[in-house]
């Protein structure tokens, strides 16, 4: 597996682990509150951080595995050639959107980093820890979108991902 | 005019196969740039979405139901319900629907509900000579109870975008959920009676006791999750976390049916679904910001106000629009695109936002079982190895029952609003 693909896979596992960790923290929080009357100051904030980082770092994996929800009712009917063009165009749209979000997201992060802003909550964490997730996640997504566009240009039509048993949550 | 151009461009992006999250986000960003607004709003909107504590309930409810699914809880649940009602006319069908209803109370997803119960119930019903079409329709439709009976992921998302109480939405789903469940049960019994289906033997008390004991932990879990939310002992997010922990305890320690492999699959599956859902919510937030800056919801609301002056006409038009959209659109995207556009008009006509949320959820359920794009159809097709045509024809009577429920909900708003506001 090429290095980038491995990196993206590892990020996906990290995201899964972060969500499980969020569950553990909040369960602990409720237990601590009811059984020891000692609510934590960290559970809510850190579990939220897990959600933010987890969702953003796994975007690229979801793009590669075709797990983002998309409407294939029309493109599915197209013959091979136009379908590849649609695929490449779709991936380039994702790339363009990512470029702007990486750029503007980095500005937000850098501003907070330089000024040393903090969350102002009980933990008072530096706010850039949260904000860094945006430029980082979207940079990986940008790279993956370009990889996908290239694959389409080379004539590979990827199958839509298994919308596994857990499904789409609806 | 602007609105037609904007929605036209958005639909073009969506139909070209751009993932919904990025089509919405990209469209919103483009509008911000074109209107001379700061593009900083795009990353800010994404961040503020993911910073919502209520949305943390999404991965946790998914983890809970995926762990239960991998732990094979569906089989125990179905066996227990069957032991009690299997001898009724259409008993197996009734057991299937009731199992869907119970699993719906521990799962926020209709796809998970259809898959969990379908895997067990479909082979059993076919063996007993039930008509294929009826079986597939029953399971696809029964699965949709997953999002009407709380917890419900679309309700969490609706509550998040409209800033309405998720707890009130959850409670408001119970009445219509039970009404729909009852209609499905009555239809199943009538169907079996008309076809002259033989009844199963009455299960012995020993069988009932044994089956019930195995299903008891899952039943208790449903009661705990709803109870904790209802009494306010914990937030919906915390209730989801407790539910996840309890699901691990039940399948990993008590029943010992969850393998490491199963747990890993549940974790990765829940992660993928969460990311897909939350990014659409984030994209919709960017889009929502942009259309608000263009004052589009107000314009639409005024336009609708001129054209339609009764709530009934409005609800009917919205239902038809959602049904047509549901032919092509995936359900959650539909809620996210249409809610910010329609809610101001709905409230202007005197409709309750919680009521409107429940109405949207039932319409979304219809979208889940109407071809060509209906996730539940795909699930049943995959589980039963059936053709799309068989499944799609089977859902027609159930679709009609959903319309009946919508009509009931309109005639009796308290069907939804009594439990959250008057009890």
DSSP notation for B382-414? HHHT--HHHHHHHTHHHHHHHHHHHHHHHH-TH
Q: Which long-range contacts (C-beta less than 8 Å, at least 24 apart) are formed by B43-47?
A: B43/A101, B43/A104, B43/A105, B43/A108, B43/A134, B44/A108, B45/B282, B45/B285, B45/B286, B45/B289, B46/A101, B46/A105, B46/A134, B46/B282, B46/B285, B46/B286, B47/A52, B47/A108, B47/A130, B47/A131, B47/A133, B47/A134
Q: Are B267 and A16 in contact (CB under 8 A)?
A: yes
Please name the residue of chain B whose CA is at the shortest distance from the CA of residue A9.
Answer: B268
Tell whether B56 lies on the interface with A, counting CB pairs under 8 A.
yes
Candidates A140, A146, A168: best to mutate against B (most CBs of B within 10 A) is: A168
Point out which residues pair with A126 in neighbouring strands. A118
Residue to test with chain A: of B16, B20, B22, B232, most A Cβ within 10 A? B22
SS3 B107: coil
Residues of B in contact with A29 (CB under 8 A): 238, 241
B71 interfacial to chain A (CB closer than 8 Å): no
Q: Distance (Å) from the C-alpha of residue B115 to the closest C-alpha of chain A?
A: 6
What is the band of A165 on the pLDDT scale with cuts at 50, 70, 90?
A: very low
CA B331, CA B368: separation in Å to the nearest integer? 6
Per-residue model confidence (pLDDT) at position A167: 39
What is residue A156's predicted lDDT score, i.e. its pLDDT?
A: 82
pLDDT at A170 over 60: no
Distance CA B332, CA B158 (A): 9
Confidence of residue A23 (pLDDT cuts 50, 70, 90): very high
Tell me the backbone φ, ψ of residue B319, rounded to 5 degrees.
-60, -45
The alpha carbon of residue B18 is apart from the nearest alpha carbon of chain A, in Å, by: 5
Chain B positions in Cβ-Cβ contact with residue A65 (cut-off 8 Å): 272
Q: Is A139 on the interface with B (CB under 8 A)?
A: no
Distance from CA of B234 to the nearest CA of A (A): 7
Separation of alpha carbons B16 and A118, rounded Å: 42
Each residue's pLDDT, cut to its tens digit, for chain B (423 residues) gives 777 888 889 889 988 889 989 999 999 999 999 999 999 999 999 999 999 999 999 999 999 989 998 988 888 999 999 999 999 989 999 999 999 999 998 888 888 888 889 988 999 899 888 999 999 999 999 999 989 999 999 999 999 999 999 999 999 999 999 999 999 999 999 998 888 777 788 889 999 999 999 899 888 998 888 888 888 888 999 999 999 999 999 999 998 999 999 999 999 999 999 999 999 999 999 998 898 898 888 888 788 878 888 999 999 999 998 888 887 777 788 888 888 888 988 998 999 999 999 999 999 889 888 877 777 888 888 888 888 888 889 999 999 999 999 999 999 999 999 999 987
Of the two residues B309 and A54, the one the predictor is more confident about is A54
Compute the C-alpha angle B68/B127/B196, nearest 5°.
115
User: Which of 20-59 (A) contact B at CB < 8 A?
Assistant: 20, 22-27, 29-30, 34, 44, 47-48, 51-52, 54-56, 58-59
- CA B413, chain centre distance (Å): 20
What CA–CA distance (Å, rounded) separates B219 from B224? 9
Q: Enumerate residues 6+ apart whose C-beta is below 8 A from B376.
A: B110, B111, B114, B140, B141, B143, B144, B368, B369
* pTM (predicted TM-score): 0.90
Q: Hey, are the CB atoms on B39 and A105 less than 8 Å from each other?
A: no
The verdict on a CB contact (< 8 Å) between B328 and A131 is no
Burial of A40 (0-12, 13-18, 19+ CB in 10 A): middle
Asked whether A55 and A45 are in contact (CB, 8 A), the reply is no
Give me the residue from A47, A130, A169 closest to B273, CB to CB: A169
Report which secondary-structure segment, H or E, holds A128: helix A128-131
> Whole-angstrom Cα distance, residue B156 to residue B49?
13
B5-to-A90, A116, B334 alpha-carbon distances in Å: 20, 43, 18
């Amino acid at each position: 597996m090429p290095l980038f693909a491995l990196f993206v896979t590892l990020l996906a596992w990290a995201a899964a682990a972060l969500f499980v960790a969020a569950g553990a923290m909040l369960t602990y929080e409720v237990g601590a509150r009811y059984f020891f009357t000692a609510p934590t100051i960290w559970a809510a904030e850190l579990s939220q951080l897990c959600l933010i980082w987890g969702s953003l770092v796994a975007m690229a994996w979801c793009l590669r595995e075709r797990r983002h929800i998309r409407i294939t009712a029309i493109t599915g009917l197209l013959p091979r050639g136009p379908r590849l063009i649609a695929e490449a165009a779709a991936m380039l749209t994702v790339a363009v959107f990512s470029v702007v979000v990486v750029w503007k997201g980095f500005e937000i992060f850098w501003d907070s980093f330089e000024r040393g802003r903090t969350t102002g909550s009980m933990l008072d964490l530096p706010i850039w820890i949260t904000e860094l997730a945006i430029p980082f996640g979207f940079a990986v997504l940008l790279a993956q979108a370009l990889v996908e566009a290239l694959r389409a240009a080379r004539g590979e039509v990827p199958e839509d991902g298994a919308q596994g048993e857990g499904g789409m949550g609806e | 005019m602007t609105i037609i151009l904007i929605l036209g461009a958005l639909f073009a992006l969506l139909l070209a196969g751009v993932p919904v999250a990025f089509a919405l986000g990209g469209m919103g960003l483009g509008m911000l740039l074109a209107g001379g607004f700061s593009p900083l709003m795009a990353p800010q909107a994404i961040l503020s979405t993911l910073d919502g504590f209520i949305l943390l309930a999404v991965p946790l409810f998914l983890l809970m139901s995926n762990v239960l699914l991998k732990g094979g809880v569906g089989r125990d649940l179905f066996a227990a319900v069957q032991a009690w009602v299997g001898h009724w006319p259409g008993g197996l069908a009734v057991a299937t629907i009731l199992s869907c209803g119970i699993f719906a109370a521990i799962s926020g997803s209709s796809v998970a509900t259809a898959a969990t119960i379908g895997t067990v119930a479909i082979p059993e019903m076919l063996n007993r000579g039930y008509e294929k079409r009826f079986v597939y329709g029953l399971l696809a439709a029964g699965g949709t109870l997953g999002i009407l009976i709380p917890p419900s992921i679309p309700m969490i998302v609706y509550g998040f975008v409209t800033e309405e109480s998720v707890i009130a939405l959850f409670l408001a789903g119970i009445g219509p959920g039970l009404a729909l469940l009852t209609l499905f049960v009555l239809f199943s019994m009538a169907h079996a009676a008309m076809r002259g289906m033989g009844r199963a033997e009455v299960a012995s008390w020993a069988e009932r006791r044994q089956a019930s004991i195995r299903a008891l932990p899952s039943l208790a879990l449903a009661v705990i999750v709803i109870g904790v939310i209802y009494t306010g002992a914990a937030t919906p997010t915390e209730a989801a976390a407790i539910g996840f922990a309890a699901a691990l305890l039940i399948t990993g320690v008590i029943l010992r049916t969850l393998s490491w492999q199963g747990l890993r699959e549940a974790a990765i599956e829940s992660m993928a679904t969460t990311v897909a859902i939350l990014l659409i919510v984030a994209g919709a937030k960017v889009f929502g910001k942009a259309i608000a800056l263009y004052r589009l919801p107000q314009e639409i609301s005024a336009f609708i106000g001129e054209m339609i002056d009764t709530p009934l006409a409005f609800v009917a038009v919205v239902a038809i629009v959602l049904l047509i959209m549901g032919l092509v659109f995936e359900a959650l995207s539909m809620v996210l695109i249409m809610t910010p556009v329609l809610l101001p008009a709905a409230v202007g006509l005197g409709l309750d936002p919680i009521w409107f949320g429940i109405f949207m959820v039932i319409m979304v359920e219809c979208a889940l079982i109407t071809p060509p794009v209906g996730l539940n159809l795909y699930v049943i097709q995959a589980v039963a190895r059936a053709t799309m045509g068989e499944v799609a024809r089977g859902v027609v009577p159930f679709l009609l029952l959903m319309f009946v429920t919508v009509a009931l909900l309109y005639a009796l708003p308290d069907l939804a609003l009594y439990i959250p506001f008057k009890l």
